[in-house]
Amino acid sequence: MGKTTGFLEYERKDGAQREVSERIKDFHEFHERLSAADTCMQASRCMDCGIPFCQAGTMISGMMSGCPLHNAVPEINDLVYKGRMAEAYQRLSITHSFPEFTSRVCPALCEAACTCSLHGQAVTTKENEKAVIEYAYENNLVSEITPSIRTGKKIAVVGSGPSGLAAAQLLNMRGHEVTVFERKDRIGGLLRYGIPNMKLDKSVIDRRVELMEKAGVKFVVNSDIGRNVSSEDLLKNFDSVILACGASHARDINAPGRDAKGIYFAVDFLSTVTKRLLDSDFKDYPLDLVKDRDVVVIGGGDTGNDCVGTCIRLSAKSVTQLEMMPMPSTGRLPSNPWPEWPRVLKTDYGQEEAIYKFGSDPRIYQTTVKEFIKDENGALKELLLVSLSPKKDAKTGRTIMSEVEGSERKIPAQLVLIAAGFLGSEQYVTESFGVETDNRTNVKTKAGEHATTKARVYTAGDMHIGQSLVVRAIAEGRSVAREVDKALMGYTNL
């Protein structure tokens, strides 16, 4: 696979990024593609390593290692190296529903498990995947299959995020009549409103949805099942229902003063920004939400980073990012060996932009909010912070972050964005359908299956496995499609 000595001859080369000084002025995508020649050279670094850990998709130490879609990475890279891009797209399409999404927003589990990354730099598999799918779009190779024969079976998919779209794609291809219900005004779920446009341009979603509509998938927006659309109607009018509503029950910060004006959940904030951008065709930058404010983002994950980058584009006075846990190491520790997902320090685009704009990394580790301090009008004006120290719990052995006595200090803050993760599915949806949930409020199923405790109702994505990655959500959607198809037809060829 690839060039036998490619990984020895060539260094890793990633696509360029637009200069920070320019990209913070707009919400356009800033990752640029490699040239065709450089793409072939990078693909040649994929060697015939014997065991392709990159495509394993296996849980190791509670973390996913390798691609959960089991993309045939060495085969695809070999085809890219040889310039056979159309064939590379055909091979990728066998296992992957939406390479255009993951090649932009996935943290590249495949690369973390790449054999080349054990002693050097991984193959640019994510970059190569983007080259393949964009070549396919540019050459009119991408299409959704319109079945010549329909089965007469009707399926409702609740939620149009990556898992819902993947399930709809396969079930429509099989010949079932699929209707996707979305509570927002546009299709895409968190792809649309949870991921900023500079990471995933929304036209990328639109072109795929248009293809799916032409192939027969029906999309219904502004349909909030359990509120303005009843679950009874869905169960009455459809043979099967797939719940793919995400893990949208956000984790809160319950500190004194939480009712202050100016505190928002991160996804709500990002959704508001994106909606105003889309509604105005990117002519209305919602500066009024952020401009000249001291912003504090609580949470250090991808969503927190997206908030940092968004607030810089909206002219924040300052941006601080709080993380409860200690700063990760800069390299793998002995307790985190390859091919586990590397728990190492990552400086993402938002932090890079904050360093450029304000002169320092916005992250403060081992710190949390002890109190939200309001002014006389009830608006947020300051935060009382406290440092944390890791301690082992004698009974459970778990690490607990405890307050450091005397470490309290105040910082100015007129806007706080809570990006502390999600607790699971929203209660009104699960109660509406009468499905059972586990102790994390994820919808309960048998291990490795998608059928809920309610007949004809299935679940997939974050609603099923908890907050996770787009690539895992797509894998979940493809998996539930196979299970539903088999239940309806007695067998499945998906």
Question: Tokens 């979603």 sit at which residue?
Answer: 205
Q: Are residues 260 and 224 in the same domain?
A: no
Query: pLDDT tens, position by position, for the chain (494 residues)?
Result: 668 889 989 999 999 999 999 999 999 999 999 999 999 999 999 987 889 999 999 999 999 999 999 999 999 999 999 999 999 999 999 999 999 999 999 999 999 999 999 889 999 999 999 999 999 999 999 999 999 999 999 999 999 999 999 999 999 999 999 999 999 999 999 999 999 999 999 999 999 999 999 999 999 999 999 999 999 999 999 999 999 999 988 999 999 999 999 999 999 999 999 999 999 999 999 999 999 999 999 998 999 999 999 999 999 999 999 999 999 999 999 999 999 999 999 999 999 999 999 999 999 999 999 999 999 999 999 999 999 999 888 888 888 999 999 999 999 999 999 999 998 889 999 999 999 999 889 999 999 999 999 999 999 999 999 999 999 999 999 999 999 999 999 999 99
Tally of residues, the chain: 494
Q: Are residues 409 and 432 in the same domain?
A: no
Q: Is 181 helix (H, G, I), strand (E, B) or coil?
A: strand
Q: For the packed helices 162-174 and 202-214, what is the interaxial angle rounded to 10 degrees?
A: 20
431 near 226, Cβ under 8 Å?
yes
Rounded-to-integer distance, Cα 143 and Cα 155, Å: 22
Q: Are residues 126 and 161 in the same domain?
A: no
Consecutive H or E run containing 90: helix 85-95
**Torsion over CA: 156, 161, 164, 167 (sign):** positive
Label residues 398-426 b or e (16+ Cβ within 10 Å = b): eeebeeeeeeeeebebbbbbbbbebbbbb
Q: Are residues 380 and 458 in the same domain?
A: no
Domain containing 352 — which CATH number? Answer: 3.50.50.60
φ and ψ of 304, to 5 deg: -60, -45
Dihedral of CA atoms 225, 230, 231, 236 in degrees, nearest 10, equals -130
Residue 146 forms part of a structural domain: no
User: What's the structural domain count of the chain?
Assistant: 3
Domain endpoint, select from 398, 420, 442: 420
Residue 149 forms part of a structural domain: no
pTM for the structure as a whole:
0.96
What is the domain range of residue 328?
A: 252-420
Residue 145 forms part of a structural domain: no
Rounded-to-integer distance, Cα 425 and Cα 158, Å: 13
Q: Which two tokens stand for residue 208?
A: 């795929």
Domain containing 103 — which CATH number? Answer: 1.10.1060.10
Q: Are residues 37 and 121 in the same domain?
A: yes
Rounded-to-integer distance, Cα 181 and Cα 396, Å: 43
SS (H, E, C) 244-261: CCCCCEECCCCCCCCCCE
Residue 233 forms part of a structural domain: yes
402 near 418, Cβ under 8 Å?
no
